[in-house]
Structure 1
Amino acid sequence: MSKKVCMVVAYHPFLDARIFKKEAKSLQKKGYNVTMIVPRKNGHLFDIDGTPFTKSFRNKVFTHEGIKIVTYDSESCRNHLNKVLNTEDVWEKQGFNNPLTKLAIQEDADIYHTHEYLSLFAGIGIKRLIKKRKGKHVKLIYDSHELTPDPLDPRYSEEKRKILEQKLLYMLEEVDYIITVSDSIKSWYIAHKPNVPVEVIYNSPPLTKDYAPKKFDNAEFITCYVGNVDAKRGNKDKVIGISEICSKAIDFQFKIIGGTRFGDSFLIPKHLQNVIQLTGWVDYHSIPKHMKDADVGWIDIDDVNQSLNRDYSLPNKFFSYLNNGIPVLVNKCHEMEDFIRKHQCGFVVDKTQATAQDFADALIFLHNNKSKLTQMSQNARKVMERLYSWEKMEDRLFQIYQHLGN
């Protein structure tokens, strides 16, 4: 009989690349029976760009690509899950009395896989209540997509960060395995909770199957960016500034795969409309096709001193670039800088807050040094094949689940 897995989600979209496209689908392929408990907001599920699904996925329970999806209204859980900051008697009386926890318990799974600070809190309730009511010992995974609370996050006061950290460390006593996304975050958990096993599963894609080594012999030089272009990521002003500077010096294109989220817009100046190309949001599996003509992949980690998570990040796009043999251009930040310098697969602008001019200077330098770019490209693809592809991460995931199933 196959083991039953329940993914417990507090706010990620149900089609999230890490949760649904990679982890849930890989576990399903391995023979696990996978259910996801996912939130609706204002009655809707949302696509990866924030667009609400209005004509599809309307049933409370449905099956998508073989994965059972159980939905709940996030508004009905917010007050309960926020009780994590209260005392333990409030946890038992109010915090665990919420739809997310109740629906997850009804699944009667063997392993519960949580993905956020608040879904971890729900997971503590799930584990305790199943043991209390059924005498069953279920396994609990905390998949820490980032470090919460971030010790440097200015959104919270020092006092609140301290309370959040205390509650996290207390909850981790009941966690059977921690999964996270970078070695620096893993080190933080080992330092604070050395008794809980922890593994890194990078946000890397499956190997591109029809990959062909890049020749960098086109006259046009294409810089690629994958993901959101909003107030927090994919700085619009820098995209425009880089395009302005580079297009005057070389035959330049800035290709954005993704772009604005639902309800937002990106107004491209008229004189740059032939320079900046927006593909819009594309299917996860078609990203490599849209990257085929790219020469460099751009990541801007701005205000790195304001957030430990930004300094520790290894985002999806980072591995997508490498997977397609695209050297990465990034400003100075701990985790990506270490990776690039170790594997010689990109270029680091030596500033924590790089300007459009800084990035443009680096791009023009790379354009004028094609042999260096070619070597970086070869290194990028080789390191993905050897160490970091999703196929390698999938093996790590299976080993964790095998360990928990014993």
Structure 2
Amino acid sequence: MIFKRFMKKPEIVEKIPENNNSYLSCVMIVLNEVKHDSRVKKCAKALQKANCDVKIFGLSQDKEQQGVKWVEIQGIPTLLFPNPKFTILSSAVRIYTWKYVTQGLLAAMWKYISIEQPDFIHTHDFHSLIIGKELSLRLKKEGQDVKWVHDFHEYVKGLDGLDDEIKELSLTEEKESILHADYLTTVSPTLSTALRNDYDLKKEPTVLYNAPNRSNLNLDYDLTIRKKLNLPTDIELGVYIGGISEFRGLHTLIGAMPLVPHLHIALVTETKGKYMDSLIESAKELGCYDRLHILPYVDSTEITSFIRDATFGIHPMTRYGNAEVALPNKLFDYIHAKIPVIVSNCTTMEQFVNKWKIGLVFEAENVNELGNTIKKLLKERAKFTENINDEILDIFSWETSEELLKSIYLDMIRKLEGEVNNIGNSFIEGWVNKTDFKSYERVAVFHKKEMISQLKLQNIIEKDSNKKKTDFSILLPEKYHDSVKREYEVRLLPRGNILENGKITAMFEEKFPIDGKFEGVVNNKITGWIKLKNYDYPTGVAIYYNSKYVCSGAADIILEEKPGCLGFSINLPELYRDGKARKYWVKTNPWDIEINGSPQILKFD
């Protein structure tokens, strides 16, 4: 291999600000640009909803990018790492490039993982398997209680188009890594069974169907595919969505178009290249190019609304190893758009379509049979559409997969127990049956199903030497100190179980026990003071930029001019010392009580 030589500036590796309201933290790893990977984004959003602080580590395709780039993709903090392959000018053997990329990314990602110290590492697809194994083992060796989840998107043994040496290496990595994972998930039951059989797993990987949210379908969506193409409703329109390659079998579909003379076909894809050019050329030669439409990518959250007025959806995949176990997301997109489907006779797709009677199956790469199948479906479309009912849409929806994913995470962490044993004038007090808390374990108070206060158990400073349990005191926000009786629930997070005596009815006196002031900036630091009246609990402060947690620090400066008050002077992370004006809040730590003087618009050099 020949490598480019370039000068790199020293890289400052700094922890990305986390959401301080999150219970768990997760770094998700996928070796693509993330933005078009609907499964990765859906997994990340699902965990965010479960109060998990999620960051994605992805792979940039920008040849000019040299440093790590921090972006936000649909509300998910994402680090895009420069692609090591772009530093190679030439390579005689592709496997060397493959090894160079994975080892380069492993080294680059370790710098950030070691700082983030996540509770979970969640890797996607076979490219990142070895990275997930190595990163999780390194963290465990350092004493970090990290769990590693891996999601199999493909059946590597069946990837017939993959370079032979890369395939062999990937299978070796798979064999060496799979038993190290704490939990495995995948995309179809057939693939799950194949993996269990191949590696003698004690348990089949859990299937998370790569389906859209039912709520994505918007019947008021204006620019549907038919409207975009300006096609009247009496024109039959078949649609294919997603990436295009010879293995996807689109040449069979183009070949069948002359057999159904009035049929229009739309390909919703970003794919370009020789194979795509050959499809266009074939359509011109067959005299049906005027009925072939190529449309750009539509976001996964809008695709079902976009294609809902098509006549049918199609996936003419050729038969090969991975195709036999695949249950592609486009299949679920079609049925959530409530249009029937036509698929080739790849085993898992055929079984799915026939079981639910939602369309028809044809012999892969058989042009004449596909033509006849399309004609039959057009005649019988109504009965297939009728079978796309609430049962199938509920079972194969992301809402269902999302709940399953949340339960997977929660089942991997311990369940705390505890009791509420006192309700004072200002505090709810109790105990928890552990003393060695994880960073994500908390006690929280809920009112009308809304969390109104929380305490990070790791932040409790012990006042006695009880080795079996830990006492806690949790303070409600000032607006609840109004002498009004309310019903509350005290829960342990993240499992959400209610403490013994945790369902309470209480009122809190109007005299709020905390006073304080966010003064502003002194010597480029956030400064102020707090006072806890008539109570002796150690306190500090946490800094927020909008709703994002920035950092925290102690309130431990004795102020002679303010008896009973403790001052704070907090230096912000380098990320925020860039001269830009931002709006900051200061809250107590623990309890997250906003201090007077918040918010303020400040800038730091």
Q: Does the aligned pair in 1 maintain the 2:305–2:337 contact within 8 Å?
A: no
Structure 1 residue 291 and structure 2 residue 307: aligned? Answer: yes
CA distance in 2, matches of 1:199, 1:108: 26
1: distance between equivalents of 2:32 and 2:294?
27
Deviation at 1:115, TM superposition (A): 0.8
Residues 112 and 138 in structure 1, CA contact (< 8 A), matched pair in contact too: yes
Aligned residue among 207, 221, 224 for 2:239? 224
Write the distance in 1 (CA, Å) between the matches of 2:76 and 2:193. 33
Between the two proteins, what is the percent identity of the paired residues? 23
Q: Extract unaligned runs of 5+ from structure 1.
A: 46-57, 85-90
**Conserved? CA contact 1:176–1:196, under 8 Å:** no
Amino acid at match of 1:277: H
Question: Does residue 1:107 correspond to 2:116, yes or no?
Answer: yes
Q: In the alignment, does 2:272 pair up with 1:272? A: no
Instruction: Please name the residue that 1:367 is paired with.
Output: 378
Work out whether residues 268 and 294 of structure 2, in 8 Å CA contact, stay in contact via their aligned partners in 1.
yes
Q: Of 319, 330, 338, which aligns to 1:317?
A: 330
Higher RCO (C-alpha under 8 Å, 6+ residues apart): 1
Change (3 A) 1:232 1:340: closer
The aligned counterpart of 1:182 is 188
Query: C-alpha displacement at 1:123, in angstroms?
Result: 1.2
SS of the counterpart of 2:405? helix
Q: Deviations over 1:25-80 (max 9, x none)?
A: 121122111101111134369xxxxxxxxxxxx97113333211112122169969
CA 1:209–1:286 in structure 2 vs 1: closer, same or farther (change >3 Å)?
closer
RMSD across aligned positions (CA): 3.1
Query: 1:23 and 2:43 equivalent?
Result: yes
Does the 8 Å CA contact 2:151/2:184 hold for their aligned counterparts? Answer: yes
Q: 5 Å matches for 1:191-210?
A: 191=197, 192-195=199-202, 198-207=205-214, 208-210=216-218
**What secondary structure, in the 3-state scheme, does the structure 2 residue paired with 1:325 have?**
coil
Are 2:145 and 1:137 equivalent residues in the alignment? yes
- 8 Å CA contact 1:230–1:261 kept in 2: the answer is no
Tell me by how many angstroms 1:194 deviates. 2.4
- The change in CA–CA distance for 1:387 and 1:363 in structure 2 (over 3 A counts) is same
2:372 is aligned with what amino acid? D
Could you say which residue in structure 2 is the equivalent of 1:53?
Answer: none
**Contact 2:253–2:316 under 8 Å retained in 1:** no
- Cα shift at 1:156: 5.2
Q: Does 1:6 align with 2:27?
A: yes
CA distance in 2, matches of 1:117, 1:230: 19
Q: Indicate conservation of the 8 Å contact 1:7/1:37, yes or no.
A: yes
SS of the residue aligned with 1:63?
A: strand
Shift of 1:95: 8.1
Take 1:73 and 1:103, find their aligned partners in 2: how far apart are those partners?
14
Give the alignment partner of residue 127 of structure 1, picking from 136, 142, 150: 136
Q: Pick one of 147, 151, 154 that aligns with 1:146.
A: 154
AA paired with 1:301? M
> SS of the counterpart of 2:256?
helix
Say if 2:57 is the partner of 1:37.
yes
TM-superposed CA distance for 1:291, in Å, is 1.2
Q: Letter of the aligned partner of 1:286 in structure 2?
A: E
Q: Distance in 2 between matches of 1:160 and 1:28?
A: 34
Using the TM superposition, give the Cα deviation of residue 274 of structure 1 relative to its aligned residue in structure 2, in angstroms: 3.7
User: Could you say which residue in structure 1 is the equivalent of 2:83?
Assistant: 74
1:110–1:138 Cα contact (<8 Å) kept? yes
Deviation of 1:345 after TM superposition, in Å, equals: 1.0
- Residues 96 and 258 from structure 1, CA distance in 2 versus in 1: closer, same or farther, beyond 3 angstroms? closer
Decide which structure has greater strand share: 2
- TM-score, normalised to structure 2's length? 0.55
Structure with higher helix content: 1
Aligned to 1:242: 256
1:345 aligns with 2:362: no
Q: Which residue of 2 aligns with 1:49?
A: none
1:333 matched to 2:346? The reply is yes
1:257 to 256, 265, 268: 268
Deviation per residue, 1:173-198 (Å, 9 max, x gap) = 21011110010111122222423562
